[in-house]
Amino acid sequence: MASLSVKHNPQVNNISQQREIITEEIQGLIRVHRDGRVERPPIVPSVPCTSSSERGVTPKDVIINKETNLWARVYVPLSSHTKPLPLLVYFHGGGFCVGSAAWSCYHEFLTNLASKANCVILSVDYHLAPENRLPVAYDDGFKTLMWVKREALNISSAQKWWLNHCDMSSLFLAGDSAGANIAHNVATRMGLSSNTSTAPLSLKGVILIQPFFGGEERTNSEKHFLQPPNSALTLSVSDTYWRLALPLGATRDHTYCNPLAHGTVKLRDLRVSSIMVCVSEMDILRDRNLEFSKALAKAGKRVETVVFKGVGHAFQVLHDYQLSHSRTQEMMAHIRNFINQ
């Protein structure tokens, strides 16, 4: 009888061990392996668009770039049949590393916001880090605007069903957390572009909800605000996101992370008439957000700063505070007034 010879292959075993070595992890959200493999457990369910309207809003997914799988979810209020509405381009949060325009929490939030603020919303599903480190998300944001411009100028565009409801001279950029960081950087890039290159789009305002910024030097709220175990953002989680999102070798004083690292000079490129900054009182980013608002005002920008009492980071989508619902209604009212002022 022939004998079965089992030989140990150390190379195969070593590859297996490499796959199991985890270099970065945020429990329940993302796990990065040494071999480059990235796992994102489905902690938040993704929801498809329904064919029927929800809360008087029609949602639908649109393809921006089929080759790169860049897409967005558009929300059109039924009331838009009377006159063109402001267009709000939105970027979701998630530390640049997790999240989706299809996440149920964003679908619910933006459906409600489109209805209450009476605006068309385009929620961008940008590429995530660490597979796509910054500035890829910024590039996706600007490419989205250029796509909107091209489709708006194309009289035979398949996107006319929703673009015809938009007032292109009333464009707003918005986002929460990392999405607010993206909105800020895309707005800055628009400011560096000529008016002819972006026409008919005209940026009227920027809405930054708990913008995700950082720095090597800690602020008081970062050092002293103790967060509950289920908090959306702790200092260690923040640091992990930045290690995964920033260009390799960059520190937290890179301008992508710390827009004030070199003073307020770069803020001059943010050519927009008005900016709203939404700050959460119990957020570790509170002091950094307030400092950013002051710097904007110092740079000559018209800034509206709103502090939401008794709630922390991402309360408006996670509903993890007792006051989350009422504060979310307040936030939507502020955004509605800001857009329609």
- List own/partner pairs for 31-34 with CB under 8 A and 24 or more apart: 32/130, 32/244
Q: Among the options 115, 170, 177, 231, which is catalytic? A: 177
Q: Specify whether 274 is catalytic.
A: no
> Tokens in use for 178?
């990392």
Taking alpha carbons only, the member of 309, 173, 314 closest to residue 234 is 314
Q: Is 210 left (phi over 0), alpha (psi -120 to 50) or beta?
A: left
| Whole-number Å distance between alpha carbons of 163 and 167 | 8
Find where tokens 């996706």 sit.
Answer: 140
| Whole-number Å distance between alpha carbons of 238 and 210 | 13
The catalytic residue positions are 177
